[in-house]
Amino acid sequence: MAHTDLQIPVNNNFSFDECLWFLNRNFDDCLHRVSADSVRKALLIDQSPVLLEISMNGQNLRVQLLKGKANEQTKSVIRQYVADWFDLAADISAFYTLLARHKSLAYMPEAFKGLRLIGIPDLFEALAWPIIGQQINLPFAYRVKRRFVEKYGTSIFYENVFYYIFPSFETVAHAAQEDLHQMQFSRKKAEYIIGLARAFISGEISKQKLAGIPDFISRQKALTSIRGIGIWTANYALMKSLNERSCIPYGDAGLLNALMNHKIISKKKDSEAVNKFFKKFAGWESYLVFYLWRSLAPTEKERLMQTPATEIISL
DNA sequence: CTCCAGGTATTTT
DNA sequence: AAAATACATGGA
């Protein structure tokens, strides 16, 4: 029997290759698997696991269901998921116009053309992941995340590979702080993650509830009232999970480095200059942050230089 | 050895 | 109100 096969149209300024490039960057992310022209991802739909393979088919995104069943409702959930993940609903042409006006960012519309803000539709993941990554370097953060996901997440086995799904808050709510600490979470982070999971259990927070709060400041406050979530994580989650447009993760180390690289600020503590800069991009702050993060990734040439010789030979 | 990583809560000035 | 500190670990 043939796989379920969905076609999803995309609008202007969408490049699947740029999105794939971002997903693949230089990190070992355990939650998707990128190949030359497609990405595979497992997710739960209504408690049942499915495995998607996404690729480009002419002008459409093509989504194949490699594993799992799809009725009409499942298909609609998958369409929504993919649209959220790749921010397909956005029209970013106005953002490109603003970039083009800026002396040191004018190269971006061409260099990163069609890159969309890659989301994290699961709100629990969008909050738990930045807690894991707080104040540690990213390669280490991804290692910790992998241990966490492999222990508490579910997986789909397909063609000899396990595809993992981020743990549910139901599972994490019952995790032991000591077990997380053994996985090299700090004791505080272990406590925050479990507390966060329990806040989801109790209904104190949910994606629907958060999305229903009418103003931005109140949404931020709803998040920062949870222990372990500061203004940085709140903005990160609103940007990545609710696809909000005006989120600035204040104090973000990578963001400040990117602003220094582009000579937009000359000292990291100059929050005045940071705010002034973002004012010119009102309504596009999230995209601007995302593109600045993108600018931090090593170029293709640098990546090759970093690749150990043995790996090149084995290719 | 020191400093800093896509920070936050807590304690101390 | 602002500044210092602990936290886990690893790479520069």
Residue A188 CB lies within 7 Å of the nucleic strand C: yes
Q: What is the pLDDT of residues A143-163, one digit of tens each?
A: 999 999 999 999 999 999 999
Mean pLDDT, rounded, for A20-35: 92
Closest nucleotide over all strands to A143 (CA to C1'): C9
- Report the pLDDT value the prediction gives residue A107, as an integer from 0 to 100: 97
Closest nucleotide over all strands to A181 (CA to C1'): C8
Q: What is the pLDDT of residues A195-245, one digit of tens each?
A: 999 999 999 999 999 999 999 999 999 999 999 999 999 999 999 999 999
Contacts of A118 (CB under 8 A, 6+ apart): A19, A22, A23, A85, A86, A87, A240, A290
Query: CA-to-C1' distance for A2 and C6, Å?
Result: 56
From first CA to last CA, the distance across chain A in angstroms is 34
- Report the pLDDT value the prediction gives residue A268, as an integer from 0 to 100: 87
Radius of gyration over every alpha carbon of chain A, rounded to an integer in angstroms? 20
Contacts of A217 (CB under 8 A, 6+ apart): none
Strands A33-34 and A154-158, by their bridges, are unpaired
pLDDT bin (cut points 50, 70, 90) of residue A27 is confident
Q: Which residue is nearest to nucleotide C10 (CA to C1')?
A: A140
Instruction: Strand C: list positions under 7 Å from protein Cβ.
Output: 7-11
- Report the pLDDT value the prediction gives residue A26, as an integer from 0 to 100: 72
In this structure, are residues A114 and A15 in contact, taking their beta carbons and an 8 Å threshold? yes
pTM, two decimals, is 0.94
- Report the pLDDT value the prediction gives residue A303, as an integer from 0 to 100: 53
Query: CA-to-C1' distance for A60 and C1, Å?
Result: 55
